[in-house]
Structure 1
Amino acid sequence: MDRTVCELFAGVGGFRCGLNGIESLEDINGEEKWETTWFSQWEPAEKSTQYAHDCYVYHFGTCLDKNGNDTTNMNIEEVDKSTLPDFNLLVGGFPCQDYSVASSLATSKGLEGKKGVLWWSIRDILEEKKPPFVLLENVDRLIKSPAKQRGRDFGVILACFRDEGYIVEWRVINAAEYGYQQRRRRIFIFAYKNDTKYANKIIDKMQSDIDEGVSNVIEKEGFFGTTFSIDKINSKKIKIQELPNEIGELSNHFSFTFENTGIMKDGIIYTVKTESNYQGNQITLGDMLENESVDEKFFIPEERLYYTATDITHSDELKKRLSKEQRQTWQYLKGAKKLPRKSSATGHEYIFSEGAISMIDDYDKPARTMLTSEGSFSRTTHIVKDKMTGRIRLLTPEETERIQGFPTGHTKYCLMNGKKVEMPINKRRFMMGNALVVDLIKDMEKTLNKIFASE
C-alpha cells in the first residue's frame, strides 16, 4: 500500500516530522518515506497572519487539490472534501470541543453537528475519501467529556467510525513514561477499515477467545500494544459496553466511563486501565537546555523574581494585600496563596487558595506539559537555571522545539506572501505549546510501516 498522507490541523508539521523521521533542518530536504498529498492548517484567531501554515509551507511547500487550487489555508469546514487528493492515512491533532449532535436523526447519514466543531469535518472526510487508516491525537480529557455526561463525546466519535466501517484502538500516552523529555498526556486514536488485512488479523485474534483475545490485542498484538509496552492486564477487568445504534440517541443519553486504553469493533467497546512498562533511558529537561550562552532578553530581572526572602513559598493576604509590584513576581505567582475574593455574579465572599509549585524547573526530570501560554507570566511557564551563568531565565524557542521533539530552529522562519519572515518569539512558543511530541509519532511510524508493507 502506498504511504500517502493527509495531515489535518497540521500546525507546523508534527505528524509529518514524525512519520518521516525528521530530526534536523537538513533532514527536511531529504526524500520523504510518507508522501503528504494534502494538508490543512487555518488558525481562526489570527486575522492578518497565519504563522503555523506559513511555517509549514516554508519547510514543506504547499499541496494543491484535484482542481489545482491551494485550499490548505482555508477553514476546513468550507473545503469541498471531494476535491482532496487521494491518500491512505489520515492524521491530525484535532481540537477538543463539544461533540453533541444538533439534530437527532434515525441514522448517522446526514448527521448535523454544531457548526464550528471540527470533528464533523473529519467525519465528512471519512465518508468522502474512505481512508483505510486514521491516526488522531487529542487531549486526554476527551474520553471524560463533557463533565455532565461523561464519555458522550468520545462515544460520538467511536460511533461515527463504526458507521463508516472502522475498528478503533485508543491509548492515553504520557510521553515521559516512554523515556521522552516531556510529561505530556494525550490520547491517540488509531482506526482502520474492516476490510484491511490488518483488521482481519485483529479480528482473528479477538475471536479466538473473547476475553483472552481482547487482552492479547490490547496488551501485545494491537497497534498500541505493539508500539508501547504495558504491564500485563487482567482480562476480568475489561469493561464491555455497546454503543447505541443512533448517534442522536447517543448524544442525548449515552454516558460511560472509558478507561485509558481500549478497542471498539462493530459498536462494542472493550476498555481497561493500563500502566506503562518502559525500562529504557529517560531524557530530561536538562538534556534539552542550551549549553552555550543565551541572549540576555530571556533572563528574568531580580526584581521580577522575588518580592521577599527566596525561601518564602507562600503568601497570606487575608489581613493585608501585597502591593502590585510584589504580586508581579514569579515568587508570588508560583507560590501558595490565600486571599479574599467576591463573586461578581452573586456578591458571595470566599477565600481563594492554591498550593505552591516548584519555582525553578528541575534539570533531572522531564519538562512539565508545555501550554500555548509558555513564556508568558503564568504559573505554567517553565523557568530554569541557565547552565552557563546560573541565572534564572525563560526557555528559548529552540529549547521548546527540542522539548516537543522538533528540529532545533524549526519555527524560526515562515514563508509569508512569498517572502522569508522570522516568526515572533511568542508565536514560536505558542506553536510548541500547541504541538504534539514528535518522538511518539516516530515510534508509531515503525508500526505503521510494517502494517502498510503487509497491505
Structure 2
Amino acid sequence: MEKTVCELFAGVGGFRCGLNNISSVEDTNKPEAWNTVWFSQWEPADRKIQWAHDCYVNRFGTCLDLDGNDTTNEDINAVDKTKLPNHTLLVGGFPCQDYSVASTLATSKGLEGKKGVLWWDIRDILEAKNPPFVLLENVDRLIKSPASQRGRDFGIILACFRDLGYIVEWRVINAAEYGYQQRRRRTFIFAYKNDTKYAKRVLNDAKYVAQHGDELHRHSMAKVLLGSGFFASCFPVAPVDAKKVRISKLPDGIGELSTFFSYTFENTGIMLDGVFYTLKTMPEYNGRQITLGDVMDDGYVSEQFFIPEKRLFYTSPDVNHSDETKGKLSKEERQTWQYLKGAKKISRTAANGHEYIFSEGPIALVDEYDKPARTMLTSEGSFSRTTHIVRDKMTGKIRLLTPTEMERIQGFPTDWTKECLVDGEKVEMPVNKRRFMMGNALVVDLIKQMEGTLSDIVTREE
C-alpha cells in the first residue's frame, strides 16, 4: 500500500515534518517517505495574507485536486471532498479553540462551537475518500467536552467512526513524559478500517473473546491498550490490572447520543463496533529528558526580546505576591511581570452586590533551564501569565522566547516559519505571527516517534 497522505488543518506542516523526519529546512530538498497528495490550510482571521498556508507552500509547494485546481487555501466547508486525491493516511490537528486550555471548560462549546463544527468536514472526507488509516490530534480536554455533558463530543466522534466502519484507539500524551522539551498534553486518535490487515492482526481474537463474556474481553482489550495496540507500541505504558478496563457501549443513533450521552473517558481507550474499552494509564519512560535550556539560543539575541527593568518589577525582586484588599496598586505597578505572575488578593464586588476576595496563586517569573517548557499557547509573547520568560544564556538578562526557540520547543527546524511565499515572492513572517503558528502547532517529535510504526503498518498491508 502506498504511503500517501492528506493533511487537514495543516498549519505550517507539523504532521508532514514528523512523517518525513524533517529536522532542518534543507531536508525539504530530499525525497519524502510519505507523499502528501493534498493539504488544507485556511485561517478566516487572516484577511490579507494567509501566513500559515503561505509558509507551508514556501517549504513544500502546493497540491492540486483531481480537477487540477489548487483548493488548498479555501474554506474546507466549501471544498468538494470527492475531488480530493485518494490517500492511505488522513492526518490533522483539527481546530480546538472551543476546547482550549486558554479558556475555561465551563465556557467551551465543543462540537457546537464555531470551530468545533469542522469535525463534520473530517467526517465528510472519511465518507467520500474512505482512507484506511486516520491520525488526528486535539487538546486533552476533547475527551471531556462539553462541561454540561462530559464526553459527549468525543462520543459523537467515536460514533461517526463506528458508522463508517473504523476501529479507534486513543491516548492522551504529554510530550515531556516521553523525554521531549515541552509539557504539552494532547489527545491523539488513531483509526483504522475494520477490514485492514492491521485490524485483524491486532484484534484477531476480539470477536471470539466477546462471545465468552466481558471478563475475557476485558483482558483481550487490555493487551491491546497496554502492549500490541498502536499507541502502546509507540509510547509504552506501565502495567495495569485488566480489571480496571471499563466497558460501555455507544447509543445507536447520533441524535440520541448528542442529546443524552455522557461518559468519563479515561486517557487510554479503544472502540470497535460501538463498544469502547477505556482505562487510565501512566507513561513508562526512562530515557533522557530534553529541557528548555537544551533548545534555547546560546549566542546573541536581538534587544527586541529583552524586557525593560521597569516592566519586570514594581518592588523588590524577591516579592512574589500582592495584597490589594487594603489599597489598589497603580496602573504602572500592575503592568509588570512581577505583578502578573505573582500571587494576588483583590477585593471585588459581584453583579448582585456581594463582596468577595479574589485570590490567585503565584507562578514562577522565570522559566528554568533544567525543565521542559510549559505548554505554549497562541498568546505566547503577549503580556500574559502563560508567556514564557527566560534568562538569556549569554547576558543573563531576562527576556521573552525568540521565534527560533519556540520552533525548537515544538520540534520544528530552526527558522521554519521565517519566510512565506506570498504571490510568488518571499516575505518575512512577523514575529507575532510566528508565535501564533507555534502556539497552534503540535509537537513534531511525537509524530516522528509514531512514523516507524505507521510505516510498518502500511507496508504490511500489501
- State the TM-score bracket (shorter-chain normalisation): over 0.9
| Cα distance in 2, alignment partners of residues 170 and 184 from structure 1 | 16
Shift in Å, 1:46: 1.5
Residue 117 (structure 1) aligns with: 117
Counterpart of 2:453, as a letter, is T
Secondary structure at 1:182 match in 2: coil
Conservation of the 8 A alpha-carbon contact between 1:99 and 1:156: no
Secondary structure at 1:6 match in 2: strand
Q: Is residue 426 from structure 1 mapped to residue 432 from structure 2 by the alignment?
A: yes
Gap change, CA 1:152 and 1:5, over 3 Å in 2: same
Counterpart of 1:19, as a letter, is L
1:264-283 equivalence runs, <5 A? 264-283=271-290
Conservation of the 8 A alpha-carbon contact between 2:180 and 2:290: yes
| Cα distance in 1, alignment partners of residues 159 and 111 from structure 2 | 12
Gap change, CA 1:437 and 1:286, over 3 Å in 2: same
Secondary structure at 1:190 match in 2: strand
| Identity %, equivalent residues | 69
Q: Is residue 172 from structure 1 mapped to residue 172 from structure 2 by the alignment?
A: yes
Counterpart of 2:319, as a letter, is I
Conservation of the 8 A alpha-carbon contact between 1:205 and 1:216: no
Conservation of the 8 A alpha-carbon contact between 1:100 and 1:251: no
Gap change, CA 1:375 and 1:256, over 3 Å in 2: same
Shift in Å, 1:211: 2.5
| Cα distance in 1, alignment partners of residues 72 and 87 from structure 2 | 15
Residue 252 (structure 2) aligns with: 245
Segment drifting more, 346-355 vs 228-237? 346-355
Deviations 1:294-349 (A, max 9, x none): 11111101111000001000000111111111100000000001112234x54443
| Cα distance in 1, alignment partners of residues 360 and 341 from structure 2 | 9
| Cα distance in 2, alignment partners of residues 433 and 80 from structure 1 | 30
| Cα distance in 2, alignment partners of residues 339 and 261 from structure 1 | 41
Counterpart of 1:29, as a letter, is N
| Cα distance in 2, alignment partners of residues 10 and 124 from structure 1 | 17
Residue 373 (structure 1) aligns with: 379
1:138-157 equivalence runs, <5 A? 138-157=138-157
| Cα distance in 2, alignment partners of residues 434 and 349 from structure 1 | 38
Unpaired runs of at least 5, structure 1: 102-112
1:196-207 equivalence runs, <5 A? 196-206=196-206, 207=208
Out of 294, 305, 309, the residue aligned to residue 301 of structure 2 is 294
Gap change, CA 1:228 and 1:205, over 3 Å in 2: farther
Residue 136 (structure 1) aligns with: 136
| Cα distance in 1, alignment partners of residues 114 and 384 from structure 2 | 33
Residue 65 (structure 1) aligns with: 65
Residue 88 (structure 2) aligns with: 88
Residue 338 (structure 1) aligns with: 345
Q: Is residue 212 from structure 1 mapped to residue 226 from structure 2 by the alignment?
A: no
Shift in Å, 1:115: 8.9
> Normalized against structure 2, the TM-score is what?
0.94
Counterpart of 2:456, as a letter, is K
| Cα distance in 2, alignment partners of residues 155 and 99 from structure 1 | 12
| Cα distance in 2, alignment partners of residues 117 and 417 from structure 1 | 31
Conservation of the 8 A alpha-carbon contact between 2:92 and 2:137: yes
Conservation of the 8 A alpha-carbon contact between 2:94 and 2:118: yes
Secondary structure at 1:42 match in 2: coil
Conservation of the 8 A alpha-carbon contact between 2:111 and 2:119: no
1:17-96 equivalence runs, <5 A? 17-96=17-96
| Cα distance in 1, alignment partners of residues 242 and 116 from structure 2 | 40
Gap change, CA 1:348 and 1:95, over 3 Å in 2: farther
Counterpart of 1:442, as a letter, is K
Counterpart of 2:347, as a letter, is P
Gap change, CA 1:346 and 1:421, over 3 Å in 2: farther
Deviations 1:397-420 (A, max 9, x none): 000000000000000000011110
Counterpart of 2:56, as a letter, is Y
1:370-449 equivalence runs, <5 A? 370-449=376-455
Conservation of the 8 A alpha-carbon contact between 2:218 and 2:277: no
Shift in Å, 1:203: 1.9
| Cα distance in 2, alignment partners of residues 331 and 370 from structure 1 | 20
Conservation of the 8 A alpha-carbon contact between 2:88 and 2:132: yes
Gap change, CA 1:116 and 1:283, over 3 Å in 2: closer
Residue 228 (structure 2) aligns with: 221
| Cα distance in 1, alignment partners of residues 195 and 91 from structure 2 | 20
Conservation of the 8 A alpha-carbon contact between 2:150 and 2:264: yes
| Cα distance in 1, alignment partners of residues 50 and 359 from structure 2 | 39
Conservation of the 8 A alpha-carbon contact between 1:205 and 1:214: no
| Cα distance in 2, alignment partners of residues 131 and 99 from structure 1 | 25
Counterpart of 1:305, as a letter, is L
Out of 257, 261, 274, the residue aligned to residue 254 of structure 1 is 261
Residue 193 (structure 1) aligns with: 193
Counterpart of 1:241, as a letter, is S
Residue 107 (structure 1) aligns with: none
| Cα distance in 2, alignment partners of residues 433 and 335 from structure 1 | 23
Segment drifting more, 171-180 vs 116-125? 116-125
Provide the aligned C-alpha RMSD in A: 1.3
| Cα distance in 1, alignment partners of residues 454 and 40 from structure 2 | 22
Q: Is residue 328 from structure 1 mapped to residue 335 from structure 2 by the alignment?
A: yes
Counterpart of 2:368, as a letter, is D
Counterpart of 2:260, as a letter, is H
Counterpart of 1:253, as a letter, is F
| Cα distance in 1, alignment partners of residues 114 and 59 from structure 2 | 34
Counterpart of 1:363, as a letter, is Y
| Cα distance in 2, alignment partners of residues 319 and 254 from structure 1 | 48
Q: Is residue 159 from structure 1 mapped to residue 165 from structure 2 by the alignment?
A: no
Shift in Å, 1:260: 0.1
Secondary structure at 1:187 match in 2: strand
